[in-house]
Structure 1
Amino acid sequence: MSSSEASSTPSRSPCPSSPASSSSTVGVKPGASSESPTKQQQEPGAPPVYLLNMSLNQDHSGLCLATTKDFRTFFLYSQAQSDNFVEFRRRLMAAPVAAAVMLYKTNIRAIVSAAEPTRVLLWDDKTGTAPHALCSRPEVLSVQMRRDVIAVVTEYKARL
């Protein structure tokens, strides 16, 4: 960013609450299991779960689904003459997940919560915490990652 560009952009305030200073389980429901259930059953009287976002990882070997209840990680396992996506992990969240993106086959995810649509959480799925967050003023519409770049798309700009 050039010095003239930096002076023309308004100053940004930091995120209202840094994930590093908050509890170790940011946005996860207390007592939520991180393991995949063997049967997908709907609790009686529970609201239906809707798919909000789907994204493949960079080498198309993994799939991340964002729903109104959780985000799920699937991996592609090739067997003799058939390719199957097998659910690897499901994380129950306190609010609907607007977008979830996986970085290759690592444990790093970029998550946008519907409760905080201006914040991208960099989620470590191994520890179940969000050690970093990226904030923007307008609502985040999409996120994409590579090993060296995180692209955040808002209504007016795409930031790398």
Structure 2
Amino acid sequence: MPHQPIEPHGRGQNPNPNPNMPPALLCLSFFRDNGCFAAGMDRGFRIFSCDPFREIIRREVDVGGISVVDMHFQYTIMALVGGGPHPMYPPNKVILWDGNQGRCIGELSFRTEVRSVRFHRDRVVVVLEHKVYVYNLADLKLLHQIETISNPKGLCAVSQLAGSLVLVCPGLHKGQVRVEHFAPKKTKFIMAHDSGIACFALNPDGLFLATASSKGTLVRVFNTVDGALLREVRRGADRAGIYSLAFSATGQWLAASSDKGTVHVFGLNFNTKSPGNDNSQCASGSNLAVTQPRSFRSIVRGVLPKYFSSEWSVAQFRLPEGSHCIVAFGHQKNTVAILGMDGSFYRCEFDPANGGEMTQLEYHNFLKPEEAF
């Protein structure tokens, strides 16, 4: 991708920028295959490769914050939204930037601030606090619009693999999620929690949905086709803010990060002895099992309090409590990548058989000068 500068629109410029101060992070996001991540900052943005870790794109100006960065799967088109005290672009606009051409190829304007943007192969999804818009990427024609409950975080997830678009967003009621299957034109509402939704994630093909509530104690896994509850796993017994959820590419593992400073990995195994393909097995819900001895689960159920009978994590990685981080599974087997809003990057490995504490394989601070491009 050519390293062309992105010019700010001149809105809210800071008259006294200090280039010697380290940039402040406004957002972090993994891209579709988790091979790269973006850091939106108060002075532009940077994009990094996860494995090997290296900075691959830097777009910085003296002024101009970016609060949303997303990239199309072909790594040529980016969606940018201005943010922070001195936004590079108006926060109610989505700027579509073509890296090959080094120019803006489109804009989408709204009456209220843009909370998040998601790409699917030929679609771009824009999330506002009370609405979700779906556009055709080729001509930016509006195809669908969805009303939601208040969604200040911009919660939205889209399927990542080629084929039919599956989109998940908050519903119209507290604790409810809405699943749109666009090819069959089917909508499914799932009452996932009694309290508000804090976070959710789709597996790559959009068949499974993981959700966490504002209480942050339980994570539930649903079949997006029929809304069936497939599994319930427990992050902990006390309240926590869940920052991110992530499925592994195969659907065997689920990871969660929270403000308790611990990243958890849960095992979700499929019974391959059952008839039918993987998708039909998963949809039934009867063949989804967690890698925890059945004897232990059978003993504690009905004897100890309910939280002991929930499925607990297989592996953990501990950060300072209060750390704001997001997690994704790495390309290497049994690894996770963890990004912190303090500029930290961790790559860790977990033992799928014995579980326990993960092994730290790599650490970088991607905001430090020595890590600069």
Q: TM-score, normalised by structure 1?
A: 0.65
The question of 1:86 aligning with 2:60 is answered no
The C-alpha deviation readout for 1:67-96, integer Å capped at 9, x for no partner, is: 11121111233xxxxxx3211010014411
* Secondary structure in structure 2 of the residue aligned to 1:140: coil
Distance 2:110 2:76 in 1: 24
Match of 1:14 in 2: none
Match of 2:81 in 1: 112
Matches within 5 A, 1:37-52: 46-52=20-26
Contact 1:52–1:66 at 8 Å: present in 2 too? yes
The C-alpha deviation readout for 1:125-159, integer Å capped at 9, x for no partner, is: 23332111111111001111111111111111011
Matches within 5 A, 1:65-76: 65-76=39-50
Match of 1:102 in 2: 71
Match 2:8 to one of 27, 30, 37:
27
Change (3 A) 1:47 1:88: same
Counterpart AA for 1:107: T
- Aligned residue pairs: how many? 118
Q: Which runs of 5+ in 1 are unaligned?
A: 1-23, 30-43, 78-83
Counterpart AA for 1:27: P
Distance 1:110 1:45 in 2: 25
Contact 1:63–1:102 at 8 Å: present in 2 too? no
Larger Rg: 2
Contact 1:100–1:112 at 8 Å: present in 2 too? yes
Q: TM-score, normalised by structure 2?
A: 0.29
Instruction: Please state how far the C-alpha of 1:107 moved relative to its aligned partner.
Output: 1.8
Q: Which is bigger in relative contact order (C-alpha 8 A, separation at least 6)? A: 1
Contact 1:58–1:146 at 8 Å: present in 2 too? no
The question of 1:156 aligning with 2:130 is answered yes
Match 1:61 to one of 35, 39, 59:
35
Instruction: Please state how far the C-alpha of 1:59 moved relative to its aligned partner.
Output: 1.1
Instruction: Please state how far the C-alpha of 1:27 moved relative to its aligned partner.
Output: 1.9
Counterpart AA for 2:8: G
Percent identity, aligned pairs only?
A: 29
Matches within 5 A, 1:105-144: 105-114=74-83, 115=87, 116-144=90-118
Counterpart AA for 1:50: A
Contact 1:152–1:159 at 8 Å: present in 2 too? yes
Distance 2:66 2:19 in 1: 21
